[in-house]
Amino acid sequence: MKQIQLRQVSKSFGDVEVIPPLDLEIEDGEFVVFVGPSGCGKSTLLRLIAGLEDVTSGQVLIDGADATAIPPARRGLAMVFQSYALYPHMSVRRNIAFPLRMAGLDRAEQERRVDEAAKVLNLTEYLDRRPGQLSGGQRQRVAIGRAIVREPTAFLFDEPLSNLDAALRVGMRLEISELHKRLSTTMIYVTHDQVEAMTMADKIVVLQHGVIEQVGSPLELYRAPRNTFVAGFIGSPRMNLLEGAEAARHKAHTIGIRPEHIAISTRKGDWQGVVGVSEHLGSDTFFHINCPDFAAPLTVRADGELDLSYGSTVFLTPDLAHLHRFDDNGLRLT
């Protein structure tokens, strides 16, 4: 079932069109991630779905009904903000109960649902504290608690993890994924971090300048990026994109090869280069190789144990089965 549909939705601020008309369909229970560089319009798109911004033209359909003119309070969606946006003057308990209070639920039912959410999110012992007395991770949990108690049609997350430190971010990422598995409610998640997108999403929507570049599952995007932008954006470290004679040899304007699809050898290979900076992660090592044939250095993934000294000569062999070819408009060639 199509739960949220955008039909020719566009948004302009004054004369500046940040989102040209676009169509998008989100299925019931899907975990959809909007990803793109900052300023690509992903947050604006989320706010259009939420109703916090008015669409300039087009329609937003929720559960098949036109919601374009419905105020955010009555769209049945819950949102988690980057800044958490907790009510500083209310205790954690009253923060989480606020949407229930607004919905006019009776006291006992409010209590029951708040306690339940607090248990799920490990917040029980903090219920009587104020948001100011909590750590970043706890605040984020309260914000999620406030979103889940009212059992919304869909959850909207606006870069919810960007204010957390790296370790906490990985933990919360798992918690949100788990929450999705348990509730199987539709979730729309905005991030600029492609790792979050790859790890959490059922479906990724890659945006650039307000335009949807590609929609697909993480592996679809990884295996068959529709253009050079998606190719460069999805995957970490990013795909090597090469132009010139080597690309022409493969009958393309640009060819792309991921760091994990290049074999490195000290004896023989297709391309010769010199080792530049190497990054040791333990499990893997990423070498930046300067090849005289290419303008930019190539990134190559190798075994963590491999140690090559700076300036030594190496040979690289791309795995042709994983070579991506693009035309002069940057579009994928099949």
Partner 1 sequence: MARATTIRQKTITTIIAWTVAMVIFFPILWIVVLSFKSEGDAISTPMRVLTSAWTFDSYAVVQDRSDYFKHFFNSVIVAVGSTLLGILVAVPAAWSMAFVPSQRTRGILMWMLSTKMLPAVGVLYPIYLLFIELGLLDSRTGLVIVLMLINLPIIVWMLYTYFREIPAEILEAARMDGAGMRAELLYVLTPMAIPGIASTMLLNIILAWNEAFWTLNLTAAKAAPLTAFIASYSSPEGLFYAKLSAASVMAIAPILVMGWFSQKQLVRGLTFGAVK
Compare residues 103 and 320 and give the one whose CB is closer to partner 1: 103
**What are the residues facing 241 on neighbouring strands?**
256
CA distance 30 to 3: 9
Minimum distance of partner 1 from residue 79's CB (angstroms): 4
Compare residues 161 and 275 and give the one whose CB is closer to partner 1: 161
CA distance 161 to 156: 13
Q: Which residues of the chain form contacts with partner 1 (CB under 8 A)?
A: 50-52, 71-74, 77-79, 81-83, 85-89, 98-99, 102-103, 146, 150, 156
Minimum distance of partner 1 from residue 122's CB (angstroms): 22
Compare residues 79 and 204 and give the one whose CB is closer to partner 1: 79
DSSP state of 332: B
CA distance 288 to 282: 16
Compare residues 56 and 82 and give the one whose CB is closer to partner 1: 82
Q: Which two tokens stand for residue 59?
A: 């329609």
Minimum distance of partner 1 from residue 143's CB (angstroms): 8
Residues in the chain: 334
E strands within the chain? 2-13, 16-27, 31-35, 57-62, 65-66, 77-80, 154-158, 186-191, 203-208, 211-216, 240-243, 254-257, 262-265, 271-280, 284-290, 298-303, 313-318, 324-326
Minimum distance of partner 1 from residue 34's CB (angstroms): 17
Compare residues 150 and 180 and give the one whose CB is closer to partner 1: 150
Minimum distance of partner 1 from residue 90's CB (angstroms): 8
